[in-house]
């Protein structure tokens, strides 16, 4: 049975199916009533936020997007190095490996900036990715407003601070991003609390 791999986010669609983003290049989808029917769908690399629009389409923010050959070689090299080193590390070193993996991910994203948004139709069809003319970099969250507009927040600021054993208290909260952009009157409100697709008030 396909399962989630280091899940990042989840959403529930109109057919009571749960969508879970994985840390590879897939999302897992399964019916709430029958998790045994899970399936994995390929999107971009390191998918994070997932949101469902009013038509049941799933929108996925891919932190690394769709890397080219050079980027893919670096990703594979980093994955192999991590696995080999993990075989010989002590328990203490393995505990430090997870933060280091995030630092490596950030460094890779900084060297090869990118990111994209994938749309998956209710039938599982994946449309070509959208990268906003390469203006999307490391997207983390995604939301749908009451008019079915898709909102993406790029989300890297000072990750090095968050990975320090003793971070600067004034800077540690800026690990993943340093703010939220709000456009008053621009996005149509939705009903809350929100479970499932957006609903206009």
Domain range annotation of the chain: 10-174
Mean pLDDT of the chain: 78
With a cut of 50, say whether residue 50 has pLDDT above it: yes
pLDDT value, residue 89: 62
pLDDT of 29 higher than 90: yes
Band (33; pLDDT cuts 50, 70, 90)? very high
CA distances (Å), origin 103, targets 34, 92, 155, 160: 37, 18, 14, 7
Handedness of CA 83, 84, 88, 89 (dihedral sign): negative
**Token pair of 182, please?**
């709000």
pLDDT tier, 121 (very low <50, low <70, confident <90, very high otherwise): very high
User: Which pLDDT value is given to residue 97?
Assistant: 64
Q: What is the number of residues in the chain?
A: 201
pLDDT at 165: 75
pLDDT at 157: 63
> What pLDDT is recorded for position 30?
96
pLDDT band at 164 (very low <50, low <70, confident <90, very high): confident
Most trustworthy range by pLDDT among 13-17, 113-117, 164-168: 13-17
What was the pLDDT predicted at 11? 93
- The predicted pLDDT at position 182 comes to 57
pLDDT value of residue 1: 46
Mean pLDDT on 1-12: 73
pLDDT given at position 145: 86
- Coil, strand or helix: which one is 45? strand
| 5: pLDDT strictly greater than 50 | yes
Check residue 45 and give its pLDDT. 87
Q: Give ∠ CA 159-165-169 in degrees, rounded to 5.
A: 65
* pTM > 0.75: yes or no: no
Q: Are strands 150-154 and 45-52 parallel, antiparallel or unpaired?
A: unpaired
pLDDT exceeds cutoff 50 at 86: yes
CA pair distance 137, 134, nearest whole angstrom: 7
| 59 pLDDT tier (thresholds 50, 70, 90) | very high
């Amino acid at each position: 049975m396909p399962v989630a791999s280091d899940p990042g986010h989840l959403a529930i669609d109109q057919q009571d199916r749960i969508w879970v983003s994985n840390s590879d290049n897939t999302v897992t989808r399964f019916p709430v009533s029958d998790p045994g029917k899970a399936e994995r769908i390929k999107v971009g690399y390191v998918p994070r936020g997932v949101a469902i629009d009013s038509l049941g389409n799933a929108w996925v923010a891919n932190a690394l997007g769709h890397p080219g050959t050079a980027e893919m070689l670096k990703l594979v090299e980093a994955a192999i190095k991590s696995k080999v080193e993990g075989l010989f590390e002590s328990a203490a070193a393995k505990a430090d490996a997870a933060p280091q993996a995030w630092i490596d991910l950030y460094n890779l994203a900084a060297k090869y900036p990118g990111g994209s948004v994938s749309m998956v139709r209710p039938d599982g069809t994946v449309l070509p990715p959208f990268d906003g003319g390469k203006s999307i970099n490391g997207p983390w969250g995604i939301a749908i407003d009451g008019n079915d507009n898709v909102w993406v927040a790029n989300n890297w600021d000072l990750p090095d601070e968050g990975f320090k054993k003793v971070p600067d208290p004034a800077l540690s909260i800026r690990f993943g991003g340093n703010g939220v952009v709000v456009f008053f009157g621009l996005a149509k409100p939705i009903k809350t609390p929100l479970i499932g697709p957006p609903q206009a008030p």
